[in-house]
Structure 1
Amino acid sequence: MLLFRMVSYLLGHLVILVTGETPEKFVNMAASRGICLWDITRVKDGALLMKVRLSSVRALRHIARRTRCRFRICRRMGLPFYYSRLRRRKALVLGAVFFIGTLYLLSSFVWFIEVKGNERLSAAEILEAAAEAGLVRGAPKWRFDAAGVEAKIQEKFPIVSWAGVYVKGTRVTVEVNERVVPAEEDRRPAHVVAAKAGLVREILVVSGHPAVKEGDTVAPGQVLISGEIPPPEERPEPGEDNKQGRVPKKVQPFRYVHARGIVRARVWYEGYGEAEIVETGRRRTGNYETRVSMKFDGKEIILSGRQNIPFELYEVETVVKRIEAWRNLSSPVEIVTEKFFELEDYREDRGLEGARRLAGERALEAALKQLPKNAAIQERLVEELPAGKTENLARARAVIETVEDIGKEEFFNPTVK
């Protein structure tokens, strides 16, 4: 169907209105003679609206006389009719051609230049280097070489490790990647020490000398990866007698580096929790009243809210706002907002098992609060602690085992050895 409509548009077609006594007979006779009619719709007074190709209109005149019908052209559609209209409006055609040509010509120039990735270099410096290679606003896109602009930027700024020039339409994007210069602190000698106690599980040394091994127990502050690298020891040559207690000699001095690495260890966190078997006290019911008042010179004026609080038991939260002093002038006026929360007495009997369960949850929650973000929990253990027979309490202790990186940097001053 799509192909048929495209061919009809290229060859041209008409929308006609057929009127008469028997327009259906008109349609049947046209179909029997191989004339294609489509989009046939009935309109008022029995007339039919339909489409027919331009080449078949002449044959429809004979059919209309035979069936005593008339047809009238309502619309002319398709490429031949548009072409005929354009031939009569040459100025419009020339204007359209001129507009398209101008648009194409303008799109062949660079009008926008964007710089990305620069942090220490300014955009003006990069644009100046690009201009030396021919990349400026208004430059034809065929006149400058993207590879030449990239090479010029890298040649002029050694801090740039990579540069890329991308052309998209009239916009050119210059993207640079600056070299990472180590900070002064990154060049200072430093150890990796234990931030907390634990049992070393694995150690990965990026720079430095390992001071512990897997399975060692470490204490807070203990050196895990040393920034002090000892020199290699002189080994005796094959066949050389070393039985006389010869001491290996140091052939190189100590080297001092900024130690880096990952030391994962098993760490344990402990939490304590308790809960009353029978708990009594007061708690909020959820009802509250708000009162806003203004105080000045020892007097109080209620701006909103009740004067008498309707609750028998309540607690108050008060917020006081004062007008800020201006120069040497201060205002004695205070705006006081009071919230009165209703309280009720309660008594909750959890039973021994319920109190133990709640104490264990509280102990586990207390232990979880101590965990850092990068800790991977390996095991959780909750145990009951003994309580006195006369005590109305259940006690519990929770222990969580994690595996985490316990290393932290610690700078040191090298000593001559």
Structure 2
Amino acid sequence: MKKHTQDIYFTGYVTVLIEGDRPELFFNQLVQEEVLVWDIKKKDSQTCEAKIRKQDISRLRMQRRGTGYKISFRSKHGFPFLFTALLRKKPLLLGILISVLSVFLLSNTVWKIEIKGVSPELEHEIETQLDEYGVRLGAFKLTLGAPVDIQQRLLQDIPELLWIGVQEKGTTYALEGVPKTIVEEEIKPGPRNLVAKKKGVIVDMFVSEGAAQVGVHDYVDAGDILVSGLIGNEPQPVKEEDKTKPKDTRKRVAATGKVIARTWYNVSSAVPLDETYTVLSGKQKNEYSIQFGDSFRLPIWGFGDSEFKDSQEQDSVRHLRFLRWELPIGLSKNSEYERITKHVKRTKEEAKTQAEKLAKQDLQLQVGADADIISQKILHETVENGKVKLILYFQVNEDIATSQPISQGD
């Protein structure tokens, strides 16, 4: 009997009282009609009590017809009766519903934003950007972007940030940033020379500390000393009859300055005459749905046939929370970005101009923004396999000085 009644609470059952001559016979008749009856108790010779399922009440009444037995229901049990009772108490039910809804809304609202690892000025700039994104106190989290999206936007909109982490911890957004320039205590360099890191012809120099070893128009090779960190007269050679080595009285300093030299580079570049490539047009289509579990989705907004001939998609899901628990239900967003194919056909001169431009850009990245490219010349030009190929000669004015520590033996 336990096997048949273990889930009876969810379907509901009642305690029924049968009054009449030999009432136990009536229950036997019910059992023969395959009506589930349990906990049969005889109160007296005219009264018997038992429990039956809620769904069998109509069959009980049909069996009673014409028998002369009197039926009365003593008590009702189970979820269906409890739910019916709650429905009758509308104020209580409304209060429970409002309480659950309030907790749900509060659990999915931003109540705190923490920013660490940056200066107060940069923290204020981050707060301003977050406010523009809608990430502010009291905002509903489902309307905001995913933490990774917020991270990418902050790195794009705030150049001073080297990196920033964005974490969603319940109702708190925790951010920790690393600025690009970290002001550290200046460490005083030890004695050093300035040497050439590449060959070139000196065109200008400025020495703030140390003794210059070269002048304007001098040609230098990589490794040549440009500015010495030893100031003073060099000790005289030791004579054969002298047994003591003369003391080096030169002052040792950290050579500092800039040495601008004319340098030369050969750069190769190639540009196709016909080129096909794919780019994003900037148009996008968003589809929103309620996601249950890991896969089932219920569409709610933005669905329909796409007008894009070619596209790429990106999915993101924001799960709902109840207090500290993440629920298996969330808002899913599918973003479809239009992708277009462009075909460019260039003349030989157009390809040549583009190749020169690309070669100059690559060289500027190599020598740094402070270097000046003063001239360029095409050394070799060919057209092979549908591409214009160039070898260009550049002259550059750049700082070629690099530091080299002075050892005790120098």
Instruction: Note whether the superposition's TM-score is higher than 0.5.
Output: no
TM-score (norm 2): 0.44
- Whichever of the two has the greater Rg, that structure is 1
The TM-score normalised by the length of structure 1 is 0.43
